[in-house]
Amino acid sequence: MHDIYIAQDSQICKAIFMAKVGRNAPCPCGSGKKYKKCCFLRQNGKTQSAEPQMRFTPVYTELDQLSNSVVDLIAQNKLDQAEAVSHRLLKDYPDQIDGLDRLAQVYEARDEKEKAVEYYRKAVNFARSMPGFDQVSIDWYLSEVNRIKSEK
């Protein structure tokens, strides 16, 4: 099981909460995890839940574990393995955005900017075509496209 990365700066967590980031969007803290698996879990040092007395226990599916492992592999500069896991995500979970997002991250880590842009655009199209993605999530992927294009 992979660790949940929580932003160390409480101001970042407050800003994230205030911005109403989409649950499926990558976490703005930079961990590479989905927002719902990262800073969404915490605000002001407290676990988020419908009932303040209830304790949230994250459940990691195989999808979560594979997706998070790509982030870890990129951090370890094991880019071939990260790419292989990303392709497995696309094959095994075609109805999830993770494979597209992770491939974009792998190609960005390799400095293959055109491929990274291509996969972030595919993520935008995927998010637009599937329920559960809000405009904030779509805008985040578009901002990644624009950021990478501006760095060329």
Q: What is the pLDDT of residues 68-123, one digit of tens each?
A: 999 999 999 999 999 999 999 999 999 999 999 999 999 999 999 999 999 999 99
What is the mean pLDDT of the segment spanning 29-51? Answer: 64
For residues 131 and 116, the model is more confident at 116
pLDDT at 38: 75
pTM attached to this predicted model: 0.66
Is 14 a residue whose pLDDT tops 50? no
Q: Read out DSSP for 20-52?
A: T--TTSBPTTSSSSBGGGTGGGEETTEE--SST
- CA dihedral 82→83→87→93, nearest 10 degrees, is 30
From CA 74, how far away is CA 38, in angstroms rounded?
Answer: 18
From CA 9, how far away is CA 130, in angstroms rounded?
Answer: 33
50 confidence band (pLDDT: 50, 70, 90)? very low
From CA 80, how far away is CA 138, in angstroms rounded?
Answer: 27
From CA 136, how far away is CA 134, in angstroms rounded?
Answer: 5
